[in-house]
Amino acid sequence: MLVLDSMDMDILQRCLDGKPRGWEDFVDRFISMVTHVVNCTAQSQGVTLLKSQQEELIVKVFSTFHEENFQILRQLNGQNHLSTYLTIVTRRIVVKNLMDYRSHQAAPKIPA
């Protein structure tokens, strides 16, 4: 059984069911948490984000949540609170993107 408070359960279910404002309410509910996790994860990786980079990562996180009919959100296994699950997924997305960014930065440029 998934541990959620009733407001989170309602928002999540409306989002998954494609109800009017379901996705928008989900984003409104969790935007602060995702922003905090993006910033803390970048800081723990020794990265200072520009505002544009922070916004890009936040968009990437929510885009990933939305992909393939909310596949990631549907994979909740009931072991964690929704906020714990979203924190873990957000960290993974941010770390992966920071690693991808670093590998592109470190790659030598080949002259044309």
- Domain harbouring 82, CATH code: 1.10.1740
| 109 found inside a domain | no
* Cα separation, 86 vs 34, whole angstroms: 8
User: Does residue 88 sit within a domain?
Assistant: yes
pTM (predicted TM-score):
0.83
How much helix, strand and coil, in percent to the nearest 5, is found in the chain? 75, 0, 25
Which carries the bigger pLDDT value, residue 89 or residue 106?
A: 89
Mean pLDDT to the nearest integer, 72-100: 87
What pLDDT is attached to residue 24? 96
Residue 15 sits in which domain range?
6-98
Residue 65 resides in a domain: yes
Whether residue 24 lies inside any domain: the answer is yes
Q: Indicate whether 110 belongs to any domain.
A: no
SS3 3: strand
In tens, the pLDDT along 58-77 reads: 999 999 999 999 999 988 86
Residue with the bigger pLDDT between 18 and 106: it is 18
Residue 56 maps to a domain: yes
